[in-house]
Amino acid sequence: MDRTSARPTGLLSLHLEIALGIAASSVLIAALVLLASTFGIPFTTYTGFYGHEKKQALENLSFVADLKKDRLENWLNEAKGDLSILSTGKSLGALARRIEETVSRPAETGVTSKSVSREIARDPNYANVMARFDAFVKTYERYSKIQLVAADTGSIVVSTAEDETGTTFGSVKAFETTSRSSQEVKVDVEKDPVDLRTYVVLSKSVPYDGTQDASRAGRAPVILAYADMEKLVRPMLYTGEGMGKTGEILLVSQERRALMSLKHSLPDGTIPKALAYQIEATPARLAALGHNGIVESKDYRGVPVWAAYRFIQVSPGQGWGMVVKQDVSEIMAPVWSGGFYTSIIGIIGVVTACVLALAIGRRISKPIDELSEIAEQVGSGNLNVKARTDGPPEIKALAHTFNSMIEDIRNWHDELGRQVELRTTQLVKVNQELHAEIAERKRVEDALRAGEQRYKYLYEKTPVPLHSVNDRFQIIHVSDYWLELLGYSREEVLGKAPVDFLTPASRLQAEQVNIPRFLKQGSAKDVSYQMLKKNGEVIDVLLSAFADRDAEDELVQSLSAFYDVTDLRRTERALQQAHDELEERVLERTAALERSNLELATQIEQRKHTEEKLRSVLADLTTSNQDLEKFAYVASHDLQEPLRNVASCMQLLEKRHKGELGAESDQLITYAVDSVKTMKLLIEDLLAFSRIVTRGKPLEMTDAEEIMKLTIRNLEQSITRAGAVITYDPLPRVRVDRTQLMQVLQNLISNSIKFARGEPPQVHVSARRKGQAWVFSVTDNGIGIDSRFFDRIFIIFQRLHKKIQYGGTGMGLAIVKKIIERHRGEIWVESQPGVGSTFNFTIPDGG
Ligand code: ADP
């Protein structure tokens, strides 16, 4: 066992506790003694230094106050007596009467203080009175001055002070009241306006001398005696008393005005002035109110003081307050200093007591500490120790007992050691066996737990929907995939029957047929069911299961797995539907095809028929066309010969017999000749027309511009005649029969010149590309053509004008159209009557 942990766990050691106890009690005692000696013992008559000092001080203050009050009252009485004496005497009485008379004259006589005093000074009694006043002042030495004042005007008539005679009295108030009570001496405190000193002013009216008219009472002159407050009264109050540094005696009026200057300045540093400063402190207030007593309070500075206050009756209805006070701090200073030294001594005593206490504590606790140390060693197993047996008898006895106890413990310890050793050997063996067994068990348990967990893991995580039921057909295991597929949580499924998750129809099937069969056979394979998912969807499944049965062939538990064949079923249904639809459409389409086949056969038949018809018409047409061309050729060729003969005959007839057969015959001959000429032209044109195809030359690349130039040269005569202007753009090379292109251009340009509007014809030839062909345009400014005739003009012999108007055969444009058609081109006209015409024709690139 750890040595230190066996130690007592108290905060302080024994000897320190003893020392602290002694020290604390000595401090307490010293403090109590100090407090009692200073402030006394409660509920007893002992008041301590403080109480004693306070009592003494208050007694002292009361004593001083009484003394000073007596002195002041004595002095006042004496002064009053002085003034009573001074106010009597014949000369004064006579002078007073004279003064009264003087001041009571009507105002208009010009009475002033000066005039009064001048007049009185001349009075025989004046010198006498003056001498008496002077003697009085000098004899008593207590008055600063004595005055005689006219009561009505306040004029100072007689004064012991220089330069005052003839002036007006400073404080009229003082003698006004005095004059009304003529028998009394009134005492006031006034500040002299000239020398600014504070005086105790005693005043008394000069009494009647018997001759005076009683009705004029109250107007007698007043005699005033001035005693200096600071010079006379203050020393009187302050002599002979030990009042310390802060001791002060104050005099206040009944209105609490300070009558003498105060000893201390105020807390704000100002010096309170006599008669100006009003004292609010409690002692002064109490004294001014007429009380006598002692009080513990604050003075006018706010400093704590002890004070004795007295009221002094200075005259009937008039009094002063007197306060004798001293600062508490000064009075108590000896007490505090005594307390300080007592405390020092007390502290020294306490320190000594503590040192002694430590020593005593040490001596008491040392043997105990030693014993406790030995006990600790025994506790920690060391039994070979012994306590010292010297020292005080109590400790000796304790040490003996201790040693015999150690001896006993040693014996027990040895015996115990032997037994423990034996038992330990047995225990170690048993322990080892137990450990081995526990380890084996743990290993087996771990293996079991691992196997179980693996089985559970495999069951739950296998990606096949699995469930197992117990003997009551309640689901006891279910795989995650099962839950995921149907959307339930494990808690919702466990404890339910598998049939709870089937559609009503499947459930009926299961309960009535499949489950009884499964219980009988012990297995089922690919049984078709419909299951209900949590979200209400129905899925198709194929379920297989086998039963785990006990010896009595009763179901213990089962394992079922199923797979979702919903998609398969859906696909099957969709396929079937598509197949059905397809078949239906094939039937429909076949019927429609048969119908259209029939129609087509009919149409083909009709076409064949039409084609045959067309072919025979075409053959007819070709034959007739060839016949026509042959006819045209033969007719024009064969007709030329007889026509030439007719023409020759007619010309011969004209030549020989003109003018012989009469005018009418001549005319007829001329007609016949013209007709033959025309016929000749017609036949020539017809012949040319019929030769376009039969005598056409092969097509070849030809410079159209060159042809254009040749054409202009050919037409030069008629151009010049008509004054026509022929212009043309650069023209392309084209695949044509050059003679026929020249024929086309010649016919069109000559028409443009022929069908002019009276002004010189302007003809312009241009060419532009359009698709696979060149479009040539011949534009003029001639008479133009009405759009109604656009087609007609291209037909043989079709003319719009009479021959007499414009000559021609009506074959020109027919020939042009025929040539263009030979070149697989087209021709058309754009025209506006009165503006001009444009003849367009195309020459395809192939020609
Ligand atoms: P002919 O010129 O011999 O009469 P055409 O076949 O050349 O025969 O012309 C047929 C008719 O077309 C003319 O009679 C005339 O009325 C009209 N024609 C042809 N070319 C023009 C043209 N450039 N301006 C106005 N009329 C025209």
Give residue 779's pLDDT: 97
Alpha carbons 375 and 620: distance in angstroms, whole number: 162
Alpha carbons 218 and 207: distance in angstroms, whole number: 10
109: left (phi over 0), alpha (psi -120 to 50) or beta: alpha
Retrieve residue 276's tokens: 């100006």
CA of 778 to the centre of ligand 1 (A): 14
Q: Which residues pair with 543 in a beta bridge?
A: 527, 562
Torsion sign (Cα): 80, 225, 136, 90: negative
Alpha carbons 222 and 72: distance in angstroms, whole number: 24
CA of 647 to the centre of ligand 1 (A): 27
Residue nearest to atom 12 of ligand 1 (CA): 793
Which atom of ligand 1 is nearest the CA belonging to 813? 6
- With contact defined as beta carbons under 8 Å apart, do 220 and 205 qualify? yes
Give residue 600's pLDDT: 93
Alpha carbons 276 and 257: distance in angstroms, whole number: 7
- Residue 667's contacts (CB-CB under 8 Å, 6 or more residues apart) are none
CA of 751 to the centre of ligand 1 (A): 6
Rg over CA atoms, the chain: 86
CA of 747 to the centre of ligand 1 (A): 9
Alpha carbons 739 and 697: distance in angstroms, whole number: 8
Which atom of ligand 1 is nearest the CA belonging to 814? 6
**Could you count the other beta carbons within 10 Å of the beta carbon of residue 623?**
10
* Amino acid of residue 109: T
Instruction: For the chain, give percent helix, strand, coil, nearest 5.
Output: 55, 20, 25
Q: Is residue 781 lining ligand 1, measured as CB closer than 6 Å?
A: no
Tokens 């194929």 belong to: 542
Q: What is the best residue among 813, 815, 818, 841 to mutate for testing ligand 1's pocket, by most ligand atoms within 8 Å of CB?
A: 813
CA of 820 to the centre of ligand 1 (A): 17
CA of 784 to the centre of ligand 1 (A): 10
Residue (of 165, 79, 57) closest to 118 by Cα position:
165
CA of 687 to the centre of ligand 1 (A): 19
Q: Is residue 827 lining ligand 1, measured as CB closer than 6 Å?
A: no
- With contact defined as beta carbons under 8 Å apart, do 737 and 698 qualify? yes
- With contact defined as beta carbons under 8 Å apart, do 230 and 197 qualify? yes
Q: Going edge to edge, which strands form the sheet with 318-327?
A: 248-252, 318-327, 304-315, 293-298
CA of 175 to the centre of ligand 1 (A): 172
Q: Is residue 283 lining ligand 1, measured as CB closer than 6 Å?
A: no
- With contact defined as beta carbons under 8 Å apart, do 738 and 769 qualify? no
Give residue 218's pLDDT: 47
CA of 693 to the centre of ligand 1 (A): 23
- Residue 542's contacts (CB-CB under 8 Å, 6 or more residues apart) are 526, 527, 528, 529, 562, 563, 565
Tokens 């092969």 belong to: 698
CA of 621 to the centre of ligand 1 (A): 29
Which ranges of the chain have pLDDT less than 50?
1-7, 180-181, 210, 212, 214-215, 217-218
Where does residue 682 rank: exposed (0-12), middle (13-18), buried (19+ CB within 10 A)? middle
Which atom of ligand 1 is nearest the CA belonging to 815? 6
Helix, strand or coil, per DSSP, at residue 135 = helix
Alpha carbons 465 and 477: distance in angstroms, whole number: 11
Q: What is the best residue among 799, 811, 817 to mutate for testing ligand 1's pocket, by most ligand atoms within 8 Å of CB?
A: 799
Residue nearest to atom 24 of ligand 1 (CA): 755
Alpha carbons 673 and 654: distance in angstroms, whole number: 9
Residue (of 691, 732, 634, 684) closest to 822 by Cα position:
691
CA of 799 to the centre of ligand 1 (A): 6
Q: Is residue 780 lining ligand 1, measured as CB closer than 6 Å?
A: yes
CA of 813 to the centre of ligand 1 (A): 7
CA of 816 to the centre of ligand 1 (A): 12
- The DSSP H or E segment spanning 701 is strand 700-703
508: left (phi over 0), alpha (psi -120 to 50) or beta: alpha
| Rounded (10°) angle between helices 393-461 and 328-379 | 70
Q: Is residue 801 lining ligand 1, measured as CB closer than 6 Å?
A: yes
Residue (of 359, 353, 355, 350) closest to 15 by Cα position:
359
Residue nearest to atom 18 of ligand 1 (CA): 751
CA of 720 to the centre of ligand 1 (A): 20
Alpha carbons 756 and 765: distance in angstroms, whole number: 16
CA 746 to chain centre: 100
Q: How far apart are the two ends of the chain, measured CA to CA in Å?
A: 138
Q: Is residue 808 lining ligand 1, measured as CB closer than 6 Å?
A: yes
Residue nearest to atom 14 of ligand 1 (CA): 799
Q: What is the best residue among 793, 811, 827, 831 to mutate for testing ligand 1's pocket, by most ligand atoms within 8 Å of CB?
A: 793
Number of H helices, E strands in the chain: 20, 21
- With contact defined as beta carbons under 8 Å apart, do 134 and 160 qualify? yes
- With contact defined as beta carbons under 8 Å apart, do 67 and 241 qualify? yes
Residue nearest to atom 23 of ligand 1 (CA): 752
pTM, to two decimals: 0.43
Give residue 111's pLDDT: 67
Residue nearest to atom 3 of ligand 1 (CA): 808
Give residue 239's pLDDT: 65
Give residue 596's pLDDT: 92
Q: Is residue 809 lining ligand 1, measured as CB closer than 6 Å?
A: yes
CA of 793 to the centre of ligand 1 (A): 7
- With contact defined as beta carbons under 8 Å apart, do 781 and 836 qualify? yes
Q: Is residue 799 lining ligand 1, measured as CB closer than 6 Å?
A: yes
Q: Is residue 321 lining ligand 1, measured as CB closer than 6 Å?
A: no
- Residue 10's contacts (CB-CB under 8 Å, 6 or more residues apart) are 17
Q: What is the best residue among 715, 726, 751, 806 to mutate for testing ligand 1's pocket, by most ligand atoms within 8 Å of CB?
A: 751
Q: Is residue 779 lining ligand 1, measured as CB closer than 6 Å?
A: no
Residue nearest to atom 13 of ligand 1 (CA): 799
- Long-range contacts of residues 475-478, Cβ cutoff 8 Å, at least 24 apart: 476/557
Q: Pseudo-torsion of CA 447, 448, 452, 457, nearest 10°?
A: -10
CA of 789 to the centre of ligand 1 (A): 11
Q: Is residue 803 lining ligand 1, measured as CB closer than 6 Å?
A: no
Which atom of ligand 1 is nearest the CA belonging to 810? 8
CA of 806 to the centre of ligand 1 (A): 9
DSSP 295: E
CA distances 70 to 51, 285, 577, Å, are 29, 20, 149
